[in-house]
Structure 1
Amino acid sequence: MKRLMLIGAAGLLLSACGSEEQQPEAVRPVLSTLVEAQAQSQLGRFAGAIQARFESTLGFRVSGRIARRWLDVGAQVKPGDTLATLDPTDQQNQLRAAEGDLARVQAQWINAQANARRQQQLYDRGVGAQAQLDIAQTDLKTTGASLEQARSAVSQARDQLDYSTLRSDHAAVITAWQAEAGQTVTAGQAVVTLARPDVKEAVIDLPINIAEALTKDLTFTVASQLDTSINTTATLRELEPQADAATRTRRARLTLASTPDAFHLGTAISVTLTSAITPRSELPLSALLERDGKTQVWVIDPQQKTVATRDVTLTERTSDSFMLSAGVQPGERVVTAGVNSLKPGQKVTFDEDAQ
């Protein structure tokens, strides 16, 4: 009787174990991401501004005290518009003095003409001396030369008076004033800076190591800092040969492929530098499975909803991600968490919309 009971109990245990082994393995939820190919490498993002390609700094051609500034920074000007004026008192006095000298010399010239005519008549009648005629003709020539000199002095004085008014020689926008009303300036001293708004470019300061590594295949993407959807591409036009002593950067000027309306002078921009590379994919470091000397990832079969390992080739590894050039294809889904506890063929659930 005891023997029968033991046999029955053993049978129950075996049947229980068999039922446990036949139970299907639990479906495991996992985190995943889609593999995307990267054909460009980002070298960095730098802040800059939109500036005019052509700028000119103007100054008075004569010295004097600034009497008035007619326009402020940001004003648009047309050719011939008055920007500032000097106190014209000195120039007006010089003009009056030159005009007085001209009047005096004109009177002398008229008198020399009359004297030369009179001496010529006396000589023709035989009562005048040749020496007197020669003296009169010489005085006439000398006075004529003095007359031309006086006329030139008046013209120069008028120019000096006109130079006391600073005018724009082209359509532009005032970007800076270097002098204020009441300030005494010398001839040629910088007074105002004008920028032509029709040709704009992006200006950024690059670290020396980036500036020295610039190549022809680099792509510059210029975007507004306020709205990154406003963007365009650009090419390098000029790179300053010498680095700034304080910041250790070199200024780069970029020619814009197009100029969005929102790119006003002074607009803050961000410039992204990218370079063409062999296509590769970047995955989070948590997706990497390393065992038996192999580097693998778990690839999800979207139809069967199962996982399988796949050998991959790494090209670069950082503290939180790794780059691979072979092993998976763009569009495949890879597990990104719990890779050490999965089994080949295991059923999983995942968010199909996860990127």
Structure 2
Amino acid sequence: MTRLMVVLAAGLLLAACSQQDPPPEAVRPVLSMQVKSEDQQTLGRFAGTIQARYESNLGFRVSGRIAHRAVDVGAEVEKGALLAVLDPTDQQNQLRAAQGDLARVQAQFINAQANARRQQELFNRGVGAQAQLDVAQTNLTTTQAALDQAQAAVNQAKDQLHYAELHTDHGGIVTAWNAEAGQVVSAGQQVVTLARPDVKEAVIDLPAGLAERLPPDGVLLVAGQLDPSIHTTATVREIEPQAQSATRTRRARLTLADTPAAFRLGTAISVTLSSAITPRIELPLSALQSIDGKTRIWLLDTQRRTVQPRDVTVLSRDADSALLSGGVQPGERIVIAGVNSLKPGQTVKIDEDSPQ
């Protein structure tokens, strides 16, 4: 009997202890983020390249077969540098023919001068006829015109021979060749593209719809694809008036605010287009909790490591995020995972890897 009473007393004592000291509530780990206000709206990110603003498509001024190319793609050339040469045989033959005609006409001119002088002397002595003097002077004038024409033909033939060499009229970088040695080209045919590297710009392709409604206060951020830390801003210089039929995009050329040294010709870039908007707060959908038709978030007190609910107003939402009109201030920290298992004043464990 005494043993039974001891067991009962121990049970009553344990029951009393459990009523006085309830087990501590479990500390729940959560993910959190700091609320930030956005005043810029991203309209898109587009890939592009750095190109020269000024490019020249050069060609020979005469027809012929390309004998050799003097430079390759990527070569930097000075003003007046030789780029390519045509086979000069045809031009040399034309020059020799023109020089032969000039020699013949020069001989005729000398003879016409002598005849005109002789007829003038005879007329002055009264033994020559006026008609013969007129014929001699007319022949001299005609021969003088033929001499001028022959001299012009020689000069033209020399120019044609000079045109068999393709020289640059400004310094630049060779970016493309459209003809090879041994190829026959016509006068004016595009042979080589020369770019001036002193003025560079960014070139991107924009969707036709976006190109037509670019905001006037839009900001263009240009960054290198391989190293985004190298960046600058830009403004739209021109947009092609007609969209490309295959891609339905319009090419836009952007003037850079400054040109980093790493922005060489052909550098791949990324252009982000954004515009100013009324400051707003955007949160992930996982941070929202719906109860009785109301939407609330859980604010995190980082000092006490506790959470409290707060009602918010949602303006719009999409598949991943929601736009709020009020209820939370920039700088406050909210829970973004596990909101359905929280209670007011509950102690939580803050994940050190939570986004800032």
**How many residue pairs were aligned?**
350
- 1:231 corresponds in structure 2 to 231
Q: TM-score, normalised by structure 2?
A: 0.93
- 1:189 corresponds in structure 2 to 189
Structure 1, 153-162 or 308-317: larger mean CA deviation: 308-317
Matches within 5 A, 1:199-348: 199-348=199-348
- 2:20 corresponds in structure 1 to 19
User: 1:346 Cα deviation (Å)?
Assistant: 1.6
Q: Which amino acid aligns with 1:214?
A: L
Unaligned runs of 5+ in 2: none
User: 1:44 Cα deviation (Å)?
Assistant: 1.6
User: 1:32 Cα deviation (Å)?
Assistant: 1.1
Matches within 5 A, 1:97-246: 97-246=97-246
Q: Is the 8 A contact 1:279 1:325 kept in 2?
A: no
User: 1:24 Cα deviation (Å)?
Assistant: 4.6
User: 1:70 Cα deviation (Å)?
Assistant: 0.5
Partner Cα distance (1:277, 1:311) in 2: 24
- Give the secondary structure class of the aligned counterpart of 2:337: coil
- Give the secondary structure class of the aligned counterpart of 1:30: strand
Q: Deviations over 1:73-96 (max 9, x none)?
A: 001111111111111111111111
Partner Cα distance (2:230, 2:11) in 1: 77
Q: Is the 8 A contact 1:34 1:354 kept in 2?
A: no
Q: TM-score, normalised by structure 1?
A: 0.93
Unaligned runs of 5+ in 1: none
Partner Cα distance (1:327, 1:19) in 2: 40
Partner Cα distance (1:283, 1:81) in 2: 61
Q: Is the 8 A contact 1:71 1:83 kept in 2?
A: yes
> Is residue 93 of structure 2 the alignment partner of residue 93 of structure 1?
yes
User: 1:28 Cα deviation (Å)?
Assistant: 2.3
Partner Cα distance (1:147, 1:180) in 2: 41
Matches within 5 A, 1:45-84: 45-84=45-84
- Give the secondary structure class of the aligned counterpart of 1:312: strand
Partner Cα distance (2:321, 2:198) in 1: 45
Q: Deviations over 1:55-75 (max 9, x none)?
A: 010111111111111100001
| Moved segments of 4+, more than 3 Å | 7-18, 22-26
Q: Which amino acid aligns with 2:48?
A: G
Structure 1, 163-172 or 304-313: larger mean CA deviation: 304-313
Partner Cα distance (2:36, 2:247) in 1: 37
Structure 1, 259-268 or 33-42: larger mean CA deviation: 33-42
- Give the secondary structure class of the aligned counterpart of 1:336: strand
Q: Is the 8 A contact 1:282 1:322 kept in 2?
A: yes
Partner Cα distance (2:178, 2:279) in 1: 52
Structure 1, 205-214 or 105-114: larger mean CA deviation: 205-214
Q: Is the 8 A contact 1:206 1:249 kept in 2?
A: yes
Q: Which amino acid aligns with 2:328?
A: V
Q: Is the 8 A contact 1:35 1:334 kept in 2?
A: yes
- Matched residues, percent identical? 68
- Give the secondary structure class of the aligned counterpart of 2:95: helix
- Give the secondary structure class of the aligned counterpart of 1:136: helix
Q: Which amino acid aligns with 1:323?
A: L
